[in-house]
Structure formats: structure tokens, C-alpha cells
Structure 1
Amino acid sequence: MAGKPSGRSPEPAKASRRGAFGRGFPSAAARSGRISGLDGLRTVAVAMVLVYHVEPGLLPGGSVAVDVFFTISGFVITRLLLAEYARTGGINLRSFYRRRWLRLVPALLAVCAACVALSLTTSLWAFENAWAAAVLAATFVVNIVRAGASGGYSDVTGPLAHTWSLSVEEQFYLLWPLALLFLLRRCRARTVLLCTAALCVLPVLWRFALWNPDAAHRIYNGTDTRADQLLAGALVAVVLARLRADDPRLEQLRRWAGRLACPALGLLLLTAWRVPVTSGSGVWTATWYTVGLLAVATVSATLVTGLELRPDARLSQALSLAPLAWVGRNLSYGIYLWHYPIVRLLASLGVTDGRLSTTIVLTTVMALLSYALIEMPFLRQGRRPRPSTARS
């Protein structure tokens, strides 16, 4: 009868529209959960950075852990963005930036405030003029200041010099979602993949164009010159989102990633142990600062792929052990934030005996306090439902 309600639920139509959004990325929505192995890898990486800053002789190449962090970040952020696009047909940029702010900035501001307080209330050399370093860190421009340094680094970034890597990541978080959304709206899925791969190559060419021994700081700290390490992780996320669960290419990738994950981790650990990647000015340094950074990104991306596709493998299970995964998930950011100011504090106090163990204890305590008192409250706020807004 005309005008009679059909009684048909609108849900199938909605589901159909959501499926259309994910066309070309059939696995995107399914690949958005946490990967315990990656959380454990974060613990290993932050431990390497801490040891490198306290006892560089033990791990002369420990800074390679920052390269691993870059690739993990590019992968995780991109898989979340693709999952949202597959579900909704858009990316809520306002919500994305809000979540990033709540996750990163409050804890960072607490570290900045502590450094400024020490500068104002003590005469410790490590915290002189820390207010300038705090301003640079809070505005995520430490990497830009360091990139412009000639000769040795100045002490203007002081106890917060390590936040250069956070600046690189934050600048990437600002630009990559915009670029990815543009590609998703304008291009076929295959073109998105090809463009991401092409973007991985551009920083290498740019590093070759820039390279000379005086440009080492510029290359090491620049977001444009380190973008391939973040984009390598993004490329892994795009590739995996493109492959259906029954795609034979996925099975091949799973098999080879499983075989290569352990050698990849071993190569990264060997580099940290034996290769002083940021010293010297010869052929080795030139190679490292041009193609070497992409090589590390490739190795890191191989490891990330193996942990994603082979959660049943021994390496994944080892890195997924509850203590490792919990620390990586909840404390790694706080450990990274606090370890370097504590290293500087102990150095300015003249502590030499037991410096590594003292740094580990104090850093862990501060990371736990940061997690319980700052990070978790803000993360809960970020999870609260908000009024729906138009998709960007």
C-alpha cells in the first residue's frame, strides 16, 4: 500500500556505504588494534636510547633506536587513519589532532616545567636558561634549532635537546594526515600506495643534494630529511590495508616477514652495539647520512611487518611478554621524556658511580608518576564521547 512504512532497516544501506569507503583498502578496518609485539619493541628501543645517553661507550650506535621509533610511529598513525577512512569515508582531523595533543603535550609540558623550576631554584649548570629550552620543546621546534647548528650543538636546548625527535614526529603528524586525506579523496587506492612509496624516495634524493660534512646536523634533525623513516612505516600500513585476508600475496609477505623479522632485529641491535652512527666525517658517515637512514627504515619496516603478520612467531611472543608490552604501551613515552633531564641532573651533581642504575630507577619513577597523574587522566578525557562534527 502506498505510503506504508516498509519496515526495512536502514542498516544494510549504511553498511554498504561504509564498505564503499573502504574499497581498495579491504583490510584497513580490521587492522586497527594494538600489536603487543610493537609495544615490546618500544620498550627495547627506549632502553637503547637511555643506555646510549648515559653510557655511550656501551651502545655507540644506540641512536638507531630513534629511527625505529620513527618507523613505528608512521605505521601506527597511518593504519589508524586508514581504518577511520574505511569505516566512515573521511578523517576527522580535528579529533585526530586533539588526541595527539592530549597524548603528547601535557606530559611534555610537565617535563618543561620541572626543568624551568630547577633553573630558577638551583645553580645546576645543566639547567641554566632552561626556560629557553622549554619554549623550544613546547612549540616542537627543537629539531629546527639543532638543524641550523654549525659545528657542535649549542646548549640552548639544554636538558630538553632529546625532544628534537618529538618535534620531527609532531611535524609529521601535522602534515601527513592532510596529505593522506588528499590522496585518499583524489586517487585510487593503488595510486595512494605508489605515491607513498615515491614519497619514501624523495628524502633520500634530498639528502644527496644537501650532503656535505657541515650539513650533518641539518640532515640528522630535519623532518624533510628524516621523513622516509616515518613514511616507511606508513607504506607498510598502506600495503597491508590493500591486501585481503585471502590474497596469496599476503601469505607470501607473511612468510617472508616472519623469516626476516629476527635477522632485522639482530641487525638493529648489532648496529646499536658496534656502529657509532653519528661520529666521524669520512665515507662511512656520508653513506649513513644519505642512504643509510633509508636502509635502517627498511630494516625497521621489515621488523614491524613481521610483528604485525606473525603474532604467533617466537619473536612476537617474546616481545609480547606482559612486562615488556606494558612498559612499551604505558611508560615508554614518559621514560623518553624524563631520562635525558635526569642524565643531565646527575651529571651536574657529579654522580659517577652507579650512574646507569640510578638513571634507570629515577626515570622509571618519574615515568610512572607521569603515566598515573598526567597521561592517563588526559587520555581518559580524549576517549570521552564528543558531539559529532563534520568530517574533514
Structure 2
Amino acid sequence: MSRPAFAHIDLDALRHNYRVARSRHGGKALAVVKANGYGHGAIRCAHALAPVADGFAVAITEEAVALREAGIEQPILVLEGAFGADDVTLADQHRLWLVVHQDEQIDMLRAHTPRHPIPVWLKMDSGMHRAGFFPHAYADAFARLQTLPSAGPVTLMTHFARADEPDADTTRVQLASFEAATAALPGERSLCNSGAILGWPAAHRQWCRPGIMMYGADPMPTPDADLKAVMTLGSAIIGVRELGVGEPVGYGGRFITGRPTRVGLVAMGYADGYPRTVPDGTPIIVGGQRTRVIGRVSMDMMTVDLTDLPEAGLGTPVECWGPHLNVNVVAQAAGTIAYELLCNVKRVAFSDTASR
């Protein structure tokens, strides 16, 4: 019998969430499947979305080429753009779209002799200060691209730093900066990540780039989107013991029993991607009922409180996150974000389902 730890991917939920993103935005949507589909499996996700998606976005050319080799035919945007001439050549060979966010990438395109013009998404730094041309330099970068035979149609884009904070004025300022700098420029626009799709209708343009919301984690502080969990991270109870009052549980003895306690051992640990940093009391689902993590999560195992779940025992299923426990809840307890938890899942057995 194999270890019961697993990650199950609901591809119907993935398609549902993509449709929600596209509907809320109103334009075309690039499904972001970088970082192995946020831990869900980029190829399985792209195949599931191919019948409905307008295109895909990845971080680097290697991710894009893997999708092409797996039979994905829709447009694929490389969000970090080219790192060197080889990336430009790959983009030309595989009909990829490239983000351009610095002068050196324009120079790479200028040096390339194209078989096909490469569609470009020209990125503006409208205030996030991570990547992109400053507003005062943006029109010049656009004009230089227009002269290159290797550059195809140019889409104007920016990225919001705080779109998931509706009370912050940052997004409004970034939007105004983008609008002022691009007012005289032709071309389609793309401004919205998941937070902006949900929280900033004024930023909706021709293209959006749904990421975390597509995997069922609403990035907004007050979720209102009809999103479904795509990943269920689960396992089973593999051991049970009874402890009296005042007994320590796990490494460092962080948790001390305050009553006679029935402790369940779960085949799941930080080597599987469940965060070591969760505190005692973090919710977890055992046999369909909510209970709590007790004791420090170790590499391969963790312990949960079964005292009020007398029917739970060896083999009882455990949901670490999924349709009955939102991954955002676990992420908040761990002091991180859902993105990190989902991307870190590994070693467990993956499976997926979708209606036919």
C-alpha cells in the first residue's frame, strides 16, 4: 500500500474559474500557468483550458516551449521576456509572444533576423518599480519597436503592485500614470492581474492575466467571486495515540495537552509542501469535520487533535486544504500567501479529474 498523501486537481473547477475571470473582466484572458501551473501541473492545466482559453502566460521560454511540445497551439506570452539571443530565437521558432521591459531586450530583437515577426507586450513601470520602462521613456521604447522587422504587433501592459488592497490608492495612481503615458499610442492594453480583475473595473481593457484566482484562491480581503478550489491537498490518519494532561506533542514540545487528548498522526509534512510555520490551532479537516493542528509540523508527518472526533481512526481521510478548507486560511495561519503554498506542493501523488 502506498503512502496516502496526495494532491487532487479538479480540472472542471479550473475551467470554471477561468470563465469567471474572463466574465468579470469582459475582455480576452491569458491563463497564467507559470511555475508549473502554480504547482498544479502546467501541462495538465493547459490541456484542460485549451478548449476555452484565449491564450496562456508563463514566466520563461522553457516553460513556453514545454507547452508547445505538449501540443498547446494558442498564443503563449513569456512574462519575463528574453534573457538572451537564444530566447528570441526560440520565440521565433515556436511562435511565442515576448514581454519587453528593458532596453537590452529591444536590442536583442534588433539583432535578430526573423522568420516571423514576434508579437511584443511592452511593459511600463507605472509605479511598482520592479520591471518596465518608466512612463517618460515608454513612448520612445514603443517607437523603437515599431521600426524593427523582428517585432510584431505591440500590446501595452503594466502590472499593479497592490490591486488586492482595495483601500489603497496605489492602483488608482498607477492606472492614471499608465493612461497618461499611453494616451497617444495605438494598440491593445493589458493591465489586470487577478486582484484587478476582481477589484478594479476601471482598469479592464482588451486583455487580462488571471493567475491565482484561476486556481480557486480569491486574492481579495473580502472574497466575492464564485471560485472553486482546484487543488485538494490531502492524506489520511496513519496512527492514533492517547495522551494525558500535560504531555508534549512533536518537536520542541511546543504543544502541551491541556486535557486528555487523542492525537492523530497524518502522513503529510513540510517536505510535501504543507507549511512548517503553521501554529497550533490551524484548521484541518478530518473525516469531513474541522479540527486543529497540534504540535510542530515535521518533514514527513504532522499531528492533529482527534479528541472530539471519536469516529476518526486509522485510514480516516484528511483535507489539508481544498473545497472544505480554503487554502487562504492555511496561508494566513502560516504567515504567507496561497501562491507559495500551492507552488510548494511536491512529492505527493498527483491525480486529476474532469468531466468528459
The two structures share one fold, judged by TM-score above 0.5: no
Larger Rg: 2
Shorter-chain TM-score bucket reads under 0.3
TM-score, normalization by structure 2 = 0.25
More strand by share: 2
In proportion to residue count, which structure has more helix? Answer: 1
Comparing both chains, which one has the higher relative contact order based on Cα–Cα distances under 8 Å and sequence gaps of 6 or more? Answer: 1
